[in-house]
């Protein structure tokens, strides 16, 4: 097994789970780890929310032993709040602290945080420096290729991150204006890798083991990060590991096996958040597991009505009967 090191944290060089707001919660991260994800990143937490003692924000920072190595992710646009938030985050003993400079969502961008930082390199550097000076753990950053196609500045931003003490940079090969559409530009990731000495994590459009190896080979990146390609497919991390080690990988689970994995995933959500909140949040991930099954559209509609674990059990039995 090959490894990469981020600020002394040793990570297997297979595939990491990308941070995804409202998606990569604890249950999702645990599923990814169970199937071999080398590294996971938590949902982004507001620096100001932490500093103002927001309980829900603080809950995003807790780390279980089974999740390690794991980063907690912060977003903000004011260096003094970033430094204070880092000190709060360190109480949860994360392996790594990551600064989100890539989220494209309007409510984040409107406050000058997330991918809005791609337009303010000086402020970005100040945020990284503030975090590094406050942290005991390594500090990393996640950026996009640029704000739009006319301002591709990932190389500049990665150099600023490195100059200000970041231990690694993750690059999503899309601009903010692309959101999640179009194709990720792997050339940008390769250019960043050639421009800095710190580890570079590549992110964008890896949905198969073959594409994971292709990203490693094409960009020279130190670690590959998988996001939407893992929706309803936690076994992708196992397949990637197998493929990188042996050149082949096990097939996707059968429909019945997928339903058991879905049951496990939703059980983790409910265990973490309670049945009322958990089942509401489980509707979307439940529907992902049904892709490709007979009658999938109908069953996805039924997923949108789930409110109890008992309903879930009835739905699973109904799907199994119809698949048979």
Please say if the pLDDT value at position 322 is more than 90: no
Distance CA 68, CA 232 (A): 21
Q: What percentage of the chain has pLDDT greater than the value 70? A: 100
47 carries an active-site annotation:
no
User: Which strand (E) or helix (H) includes residue 96?
Assistant: strand 96-101
Helix (H, G, I), strand (E, B) or coil at 31: helix
pLDDT for 269: 98
Whole-model pTM?
0.96
Task: List beta partners, residue 6.
Answer: 9
Beta carbons within 10 angstroms of residue 165's beta carbon: 17
Task: List beta partners, residue 235.
Answer: none
In terms of Cβ atoms closer than 10 Å to its own Cβ (0-12, 13-18, 19+), residue 247 is exposed
List the domains of the chain with CATH numbers: 3-246 (3.20.20.70), 255-323 (1.10.1200)
- Note the pLDDT tens digit of each residue in 169-192: 999 999 999 999 999 999 999 999
pLDDT for 58: 87
Distance CA 225, CA 170 (A): 8
Q: CA-based angle 26:34:203, to the nearest 5? A: 70
Question: Which tokens sit at 133?
Answer: 């000076």
Q: Decide if 54 contacts 102 (C-beta within 8 A).
A: no
Q: Which residues contact 18 (CB under 8 A, 6 or more apart)?
A: 24, 41, 170, 203, 225, 226, 227
The alpha carbon dihedral of 113, 114, 120, 125 has a sign of positive
Question: Which tokens sit at 98?
Answer: 């990551």
Instruction: Enumerate the H helices of 135-274 as residue ranges.
Output: 154-163, 186-195, 209-219, 236-246, 255-273
Q: Which of 103, 212, 221, 303 is catalytic?
A: 103
Q: Which residues contact 247 (CB under 8 A, 6 or more apart)?
A: none
Q: Decide if 47 contacts 17 (C-beta within 8 A).
A: no
Question: Which tokens sit at 206?
Answer: 């890896």
Phi, psi of 8 (to 5 degrees): 90, -10
Q: What percentage of the chain has pLDDT greater than the value 90? A: 95
pLDDT for 1: 84
Please say if the pLDDT value at position 52 is more than 80: yes
Q: What is the mean predicted confidence (pLDDT) over 26-48?
A: 97
Distance CA 294, CA 191 (A): 44
Q: What is the mean predicted confidence (pLDDT) over 249-262?
A: 97
- Note the pLDDT tens digit of each residue in 66-84: 999 999 999 999 999 999 9
Please say if the pLDDT value at position 324 is more than 80: no
Please say if the pLDDT value at position 256 is more than 80: yes
CA dist 192 to 173, 201, 251, Å? 11, 10, 34
């Amino acid at each position: 097994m090959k490894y990469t090191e981020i600020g002394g944290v040793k990570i297997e060089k297979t595939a990491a789970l990308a941070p995804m707001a409202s998606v990569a919660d604890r249950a999702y991260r645990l599923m990814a780890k169970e199937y071999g994800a080398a590294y996971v990143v938590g949902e982004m937490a507001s620096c100001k929310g932490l500093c103002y003692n927001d309980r829900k924000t603080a809950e995003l920072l807790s780390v279980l032993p089974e999740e390690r190595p794991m980063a907690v992710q912060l977003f903000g646009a004011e260096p003094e709040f970033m430094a204070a938030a880092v000190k709060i985050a360190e109480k949860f003993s994360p392996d790594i602290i990551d600064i989100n400079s890539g989220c494209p969502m309007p409510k984040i961008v409107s406050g000058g945080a997330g991918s809005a930082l791609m337009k303010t390199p000086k402020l970005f550097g100040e945020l990284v420096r503030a975090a590094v000076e406050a942290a005991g753990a390594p500090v990393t950053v996640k950026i996009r290729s640029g704000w739009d196609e006319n301002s591709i500045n990932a190389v500049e931003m990665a150099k600023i991150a490195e100059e200000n003490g970041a231990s690694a940079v993750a690059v999503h090969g899309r601009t903010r204006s692309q959101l999640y559409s179009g194709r990720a530009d792997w050339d940008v990731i390769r250019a960043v890798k050639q421009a800095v000495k710190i580890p570079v994590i590549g992110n964008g459009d890896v949905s198969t083991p073959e594409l994971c190896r292709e990203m490693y080979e094409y960009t020279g990146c130190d670690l590959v990060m998988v996001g939407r390609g893992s929706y309803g497919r936690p076994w992708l991390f196992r397949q990637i590991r197998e493929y990188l080690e042996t050149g082949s990988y096990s097939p996707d689970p059968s429909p019945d096996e997928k339903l058991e994995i879905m049951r496990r995933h939703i059980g983790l959500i409910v265990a973490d958040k309670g049945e009322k909140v958990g089942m509401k949040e489980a509707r979307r991930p439940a529907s992902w597991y049904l892709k490709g099954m007979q009658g999938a559209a109908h069953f996805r509609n039924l997923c949108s009505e789930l409110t109890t674990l008992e309903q879930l059990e009835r739905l699973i039995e109904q799907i199994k009967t119809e698949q048979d």
